[in-house]
């Protein structure tokens, strides 16, 4: 069995606490597909506080016969990008991609390359920033009988310095994931847990302890959070989360009709209930 890539080891936890909470923004997403197989995605978001609007148009073409995916995008910050991906061309389990971005006036640009290799019990990636640095970030996960171990390291080739060090030890069961992580050059210790309790209920918890602060500021050393998702039916679900600082998150998602869904969300500071310290957000998605 192929393990998840390093960034996805605790993906169920990240999705439970991160997805469906578009707080602070009003978002619109439209997805369509042409008869030639090109997928178009239009994203728009307005910052509720500042009124600033950001939009993006993305086109993605997939050539299954040759294992190629070509994606180009343009956004309202005048940044264009082109990504070319090739999978299983040179070897089974090997994926290569090149991503280039540039502003329209060419004042800012970047070029990066990614190598991904996966086989039974191992998943490794390497990302090369060819212009800013150059720098490389590499990670690997290995698994056996549900146990997943992984590590990630970043290295600045110019200065000869390690820029990132993260490690993960996890266990994935049929309906749950639990993990322990040392991140930020062993500066923070994190524990997380996710379980699909039933077909309708998902629950999870996570906590992060700042090892660098130690006993200096005990009240701020730990950030702990619990969350849950309940599916009302096939077309609607509610989510809730709360942390030890009293920040309560609530979310409701409803499929209005096939291909159309609406999400409403809020973050409420329960310690400052009567103040202007709360955030609202909404997201509307069309897919055809």
Residue 167 lies in a domain: yes
Residue 1 lies in a domain: no
**What pLDDT, on a 0 to 100 scale, did the predictor assign at position 213?**
77
CA dihedral for 219, 220, 221, 224, sign (positive or negative) = positive
Residue 133 dihedral angles phi and psi, to the nearest 5°:
145, -95
Q: What are the tens digits of pLDDT across the range 62-72?
A: 998 888 999 99
Residue 277 dihedral angles phi and psi, to the nearest 5°:
-125, 20
**What pLDDT, on a 0 to 100 scale, did the predictor assign at position 117?**
98
- In the predicted model, residues of the chain with pLDDT beneath 70 are 214-219
**What pLDDT, on a 0 to 100 scale, did the predictor assign at position 274?**
83
**What pLDDT, on a 0 to 100 scale, did the predictor assign at position 216?**
59
How many domains does the chain fold into? 1
CB atoms near residue 15 (< 10 Å): 15
Domain limits for position 169: 6-287
CB atoms near residue 101 (< 10 Å): 15
Q: Which CATH number covers residue 11?
A: 2.40.160.10
Q: What are the tens digits of pLDDT across the range 155-183?
A: 999 889 999 999 999 999 999 999 999 99
**What pLDDT, on a 0 to 100 scale, did the predictor assign at position 225?**
98
Query: CA–CA separation, 191 vs 36, rounded Å?
Result: 46
CA dihedral for 255, 256, 258, 261, sign (positive or negative) = negative
Query: 277 and 266 in contact (C-beta within 8 Å)?
Result: no
Residue 139 lies in a domain: yes
**What pLDDT, on a 0 to 100 scale, did the predictor assign at position 215?**
59
Residue 76 lies in a domain: yes
Q: What global pTM score does this model have?
A: 0.90
Query: CA–CA separation, 209 vs 221, rounded Å?
Result: 6
**What pLDDT, on a 0 to 100 scale, did the predictor assign at position 214?**
65
């Amino acid at each position: 069995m192929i393990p998840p890539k390093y960034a996805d080891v605790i993906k169920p936890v990240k999705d439970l606490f991160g997805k469906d909470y578009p707080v602070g923004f009003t978002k619109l997403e439209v997805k369509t597909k042409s008869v030639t197989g090109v997928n178009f995605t239009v994203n728009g978001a307005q910052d509720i506080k500042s009124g600033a609007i950001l939009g993006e148009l993305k086109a993605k073409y997939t050539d299954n016969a040759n294992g190629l995916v070509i994606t180009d995008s343009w956004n309202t910050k005048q940044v264009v990008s082109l990504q070319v991906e090739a999978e299983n061309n040179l070897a089974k389990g090997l994926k290569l991609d090149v991503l280039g971005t540039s502003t329209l006036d060419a004042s800012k640009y970047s070029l990066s390359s990614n190598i991904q290799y996966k086989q039974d019990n191992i998943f490794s990636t390497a990302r090369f920033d060819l212009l800013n640095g150059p720098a490389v970030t590499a990670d690997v996960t290995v698994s056996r009988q549900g146990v997943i171990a992984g590590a990630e390291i970043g290295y600045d080739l110019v200065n000869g310095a390690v820029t990132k060090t993260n490690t993960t030890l996890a266990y994935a069961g049929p309906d749950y994931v639990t993990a322990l992580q040392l991140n930020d050059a062993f500066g923070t210790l994190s524990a997380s847990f996710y379980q699909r309790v039933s077909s309708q209920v998902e629950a999870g918890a996570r906590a992060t302890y700042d090892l660098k602060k130690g006993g200096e500021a005990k009240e701020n050393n730990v950030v702990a959070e619990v969350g849950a998702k309940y599916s009302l039916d096939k077309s609607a679900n509610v989510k809730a989360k709360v942390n030890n600082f009293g920040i309560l998150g609530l979310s409701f998602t409803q499929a209005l009709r096939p291909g159309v869904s609406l999400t409403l969300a809020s973050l409420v500071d329960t310690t400052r209930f009567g103040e202007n310290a709360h955030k609202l957000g909404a997201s509307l998605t069309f897919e055809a």
